[in-house]
């Protein structure tokens, strides 16, 4: 069995579903079920004896100790995190508590559990920490992509809290010998993505006839990684990664945000055209840029390819088409996640922003 923390969120849920679709090893999912943690993401596993769900916080040391003793997982995969830059700017407290203090509590519980194992069980145990390219800071247009040795230069409360968690994971390996692995991924997209992030927000707003908000000039560049490719990379690192190492996971798809907006609009024009015949690009609205907005992220994933033979299976064209189609095919999921709290957030973040 493996323990997956944050397994009801976007990437975590995709990982759990992908793991159980690929083999028979059971999964224990732990999730606090905050606004972005959604049991509907795991609804297809209802009644599956291979899957156990526990609601709880990685900051709850007593709960962690009980779960580790009861289920004896051979590995822990840590997705649990507050992960939205905008939310971290408006309210950094939750990011400090979950991403730093929570990761510390999880590491402590796992260290004690691992220390009590013996022989082969201890030797084969793994702790895989899922992080982000945002810990590396921002690149100018001509700089080479982030490698695993790039200096950490986080620029938001979110990325700073993730950087701190990465350093804790590294320290627990070097100080205590805990068998850790860390992955730093680029921007994910795909099914079950909570519609506060760019791509799902565009799809949801477009279909609802609302503005498509674009920060600043829309020329911020990101590397885009289809979530199922990310899941396959994590499986591969967990299987064969060198202990204590960091592996960057990217999609080799650097694109400015405005190009993403235009691509989504074009796909919706094709797959679900507006009844008035007007293109969805007419809904694009430029809004005031967010504070400290990083200009460019880019991931160099050659280490992962060279050492472990991993490459993404999806191009951006194939992945974004699958993503848009998934949202069109799952209107009930979209409706259910758009709670009052979600509507209030969107209004606070975007509708109150002055037009550029």
The catalytic site residues sit at: 133-134, 158
Which among 184, 85, 82 has a CA at the least distance from the CA of 129? Answer: 184
Contact 77, 2 (CB under 8 A): yes
Which among 137, 138, 204 has a CA at the least distance from the CA of 350? Answer: 204
> CA 280 → CA 191, 259, 316, 332, distances in Å?
21, 14, 20, 22
Distance CA 106, CA 57 (A): 9
Token pair of 232 as six digits: 């396959």
Which among 28, 126, 25, 34 has a CA at the least distance from the CA of 75? Answer: 126
Contact 207, 213 (CB under 8 A): no
Residue 331's CB is within 10 A of a number of other CB atoms, namely 11
Distance CA 349, CA 341 (A): 12
Full DSSP string of 189-252: ESTT--TTSHHHHHHHHHHTT--EEEETTS--EEEEEEHHHHHHHHHHHHHHPPTT-EEEE--S
> CA 104 → CA 28, 190, 253, distances in Å?
20, 30, 33
Total residue length of the chain: 356
Give the bridge partners for 127, in sequence order: 76, 180
> CA 188 → CA 9, 133, 200, distances in Å?
12, 11, 11
Distance CA 107, CA 104 (A): 5
């Amino acid at each position: 069995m493996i323990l997956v923390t944050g397994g009801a969120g976007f990437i975590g849920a995709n990982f759990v579903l992908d793991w159980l679709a690929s083999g028979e090893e059971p999964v224990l999912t732990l999730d606090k079920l905050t606004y972005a943690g959604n049991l509907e993401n795991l609804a297809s596993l209802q009644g599956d004896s291979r899957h156990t769900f526990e609601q709880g916080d990685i900051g709850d040391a007593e709960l962690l100790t009980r779960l580790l003793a009861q289920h004896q997982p051979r590995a822990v995969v840590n997705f649990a995190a507050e992960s939205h830059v905008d939310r971290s700017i408006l309210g950094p407290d939750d990011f400090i508590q979950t991403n730093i203090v929570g990761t510390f509590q999880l590491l402590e519980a796992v260290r004690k559990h691992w220390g009590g194992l013996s022989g082969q069980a201890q030797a084969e145990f793994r702790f895989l920490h899922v992080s982000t390219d945002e810990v590396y800071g921002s690149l100018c247009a001509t700089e080479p992509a982030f490698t695993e040795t790039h200096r950490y230069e986080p620029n938001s409360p979110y990325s700073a809290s993730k950087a701190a968690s990465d350093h804790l994971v590294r320290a627990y390996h070097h100080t205590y010998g805990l068998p850790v692995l860390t992955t730093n991924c680029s921007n994910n997209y795909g099914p079950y993505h909570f519609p506060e992030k760019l791509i799902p927000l565009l799809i949801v707003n477009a279909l609802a006839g609302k503005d498509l908000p674009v920060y600043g000039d829309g020329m911020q560049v990101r590397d885009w990684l289809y979530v199922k490719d990310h899941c396959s990379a994590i499986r591969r690192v967990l299987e064969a990664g060198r202990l204590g190492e960091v592996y960057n996971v990217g999609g080799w798809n650097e694109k400015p945000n405005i190009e993403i907006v235009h691509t989504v609009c074009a796909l919706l024009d094709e797959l679900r055209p507006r009844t008035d015949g007007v293109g969805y690009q007419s809904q694009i609205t430029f809004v005031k840029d967010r504070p400290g907005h990083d200009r460019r992220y880019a991931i160099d994933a050659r280490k992962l390819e060279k050492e472990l033979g991993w490459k993404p299976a999806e191009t951006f064209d194939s992945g974004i088409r699958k993503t848009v189609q998934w949202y069109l095919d799952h209107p009930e999921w979209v409706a259910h996640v758009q709670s009052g709290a979600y509507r209030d957030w969107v209004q606070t973040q975007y509708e109150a922003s002055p037009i550029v």
